[in-house]
Structure 1
Amino acid sequence: MAGCCGQDSCSSPNALDTPQWRRALWIALAVNGGMFLAEIVAGVAAGSASLQADAIDFLGDSANYAISLGVTGMALAWRARAALLKGWSLGLLGAGVLASTAWHAYARTLPGAGTMGVVGLLALIANAGVALMLYRFRTGDANMRSVWICSRNDAIGNLAVLAAAAGVFGTGTAWPDLIVATIMAALGLSGGWQIVRQARSELQGPALVEAGALR
């Protein structure tokens, strides 16, 4: 698959288990865990659906990085199973964000644009740094790709939160916040499907090899 130096290296448990990969995951885990705590508090205080959606995404990514650390060095099949779990969890988080956004629309809450802007900018700086650090791993297996997709989606989501803050400030309505939260949920659903699709294809490979050996 793309990103491997040779055909055999993709199936080797240690081919992608490097100190650089582990260090990147630990840094990403720390950044996302800290930003989840900061953003969920700010999102609730400001009444912002997009900030809360971004906070939930930070929480999901923290769990994903922890899972990735747990399966690093294992066989491809185990890494693919972990990626499959992360893909489904990302999709469920996207569905949860949609439900939260619908509630905010029903309650007609007006978020605080100032808080959204400040926290959104801090989150963008954090996620841009993580995404840049993980860029080199974007063409690895499904497990590595899932980490890259999560980081990329976070950076895009932070830009969208800043746009929502400007929209709320300019219009005096909550609709920019609600629209951005909906877009972020769609990103989560789309990213989850990409991860699940690649993980399934990687799981089919070992299954076919095993079936051939039994003949």
Structure 2
Amino acid sequence: MADCCNNTSCAIEALKQRQSKTLKIVLGINATMFVVVFVAGWLAHSTALLSDSLDNLGDALTYALSLYVVSRSAHEKAVVALFKGGLILLAGLFVLGQVIYRLFVPALPLFDAMGGIGVLSLLANSLCLFLLWKHRSDDINMSSVWACSRNDIATNLAVIVAAGAVWLFNSAWPDLVVGLALSVLLISSSARVLAAAWHALRSAA
């Protein structure tokens, strides 16, 4: 009997296994960081950190869904990508709501907590980005995962900058401005993911 690994089907199966392994790792990282960053954001009164934690939660759910569809059809992957785009949109709207809330209920964030957790998140998400790099063009499923991870780096850098500005100006405004910018980033990212997923869904049909 010929070696199955000479066949295209075997190569595809090997790719799916590599995707699954990567997704399990980044899922664990983001689930852990969600808890850490959310607690820190709540205690530090930081809208930027809270938005970062929700981004991690959305990513964890996204990776879990992506793991589910690794071995599924192109149609199912496109449907799940639509759902993932919806999750990103909800996260962006929630952050926008937090910004509006803090306009009426102001609180000065703890800049040291913002900066420290921001750096920790940056390291964690850089690792995720590195792991996902080789899968960024595999299919609609992995490309949407890659988009989420890439956004995380921008989010972490923005939080670190906001922490420095809060310290420099002794004001909550930098935190709110970054929170607003992150909400716009999430909403625009969701639009791209939804558009790509819709195109893939029509192609699969």
Distance in 2 separating the partners of 1:143 and 1:206: 13
Structure 1 SS opposite 2:137: coil
Distance in 2 separating the partners of 1:72 and 1:198: 17
| Alignment map for 1:185-200 (pairs within 5 Å) | 185-200=183-198
Distance in 1 separating the partners of 2:13 and 2:194: 22
- Match of residue 100, structure 2, among 99, 102, 118: 102
Deviation at 1:16, TM superposition (A): 8.2
Distance in 2 separating the partners of 1:83 and 1:168: 36
Q: Tell me if the contact between 1:39 and 1:55 (Cα under 8 Å) persists in the aligned partners.
A: yes
- Match of residue 67, structure 1, among 65, 68, 86: 65
User: How many residue pairs end up in the alignment?
Assistant: 195
The aligned counterpart of 2:115 is: 117
Structure 1 SS opposite 2:132: helix
- Match of residue 132, structure 1, among 124, 130, 133: 130
The aligned counterpart of 1:92 is: 90
Distance in 2 separating the partners of 1:98 and 1:199: 24
- Structure 1 window deviating more from structure 2 (189-198 vs 45-54): it is 189-198
Q: Tell me if the contact between 1:16 and 1:72 (Cα under 8 Å) persists in the aligned partners.
A: no
| Alignment map for 1:1-20 (pairs within 5 Å) | 14=12, 17-20=15-18
Distance in 1 separating the partners of 2:95 and 2:186: 9
Deviation at 1:148, TM superposition (A): 0.4
Q: Which amino acid aligns with 1:164?
A: A
Distance in 1 separating the partners of 2:138 and 2:14: 8
Identical residues among aligned pairs (%):
36
The aligned counterpart of 1:41 is: 39
Q: 1:155 to 1:114 in 2, by over 3 A?
A: same
| Alignment map for 1:155-170 (pairs within 5 Å) | 155-170=153-168
5+ unaligned residues in a row in structure 1: which ranges? 1-8, 208-215
Distance in 2 separating the partners of 1:173 and 1:132: 35
- Match of residue 81, structure 2, among 80, 83, 97: 83
Higher helix share: 2
Q: Which amino acid aligns with 1:20?
A: R
The aligned counterpart of 2:19 is: 21
Distance in 2 separating the partners of 1:120 and 1:192: 23
Q: 1:187 to 1:44 in 2, by over 3 A?
A: same
Deviation at 1:115, TM superposition (A): 0.4
Q: 1:142 to 1:171 in 2, by over 3 A?
A: same
Instruction: Provide, for residues 101-151 of structure 1, a one-character-per-residue CA deviation record: whole Å limited to 9, x for no partner.
Output: 111122111100000010000000000110111112222322111100110
**Structure 1 residue ranges (4+ consecutive) displaced by more than 6 angstroms after TM superposition:** none
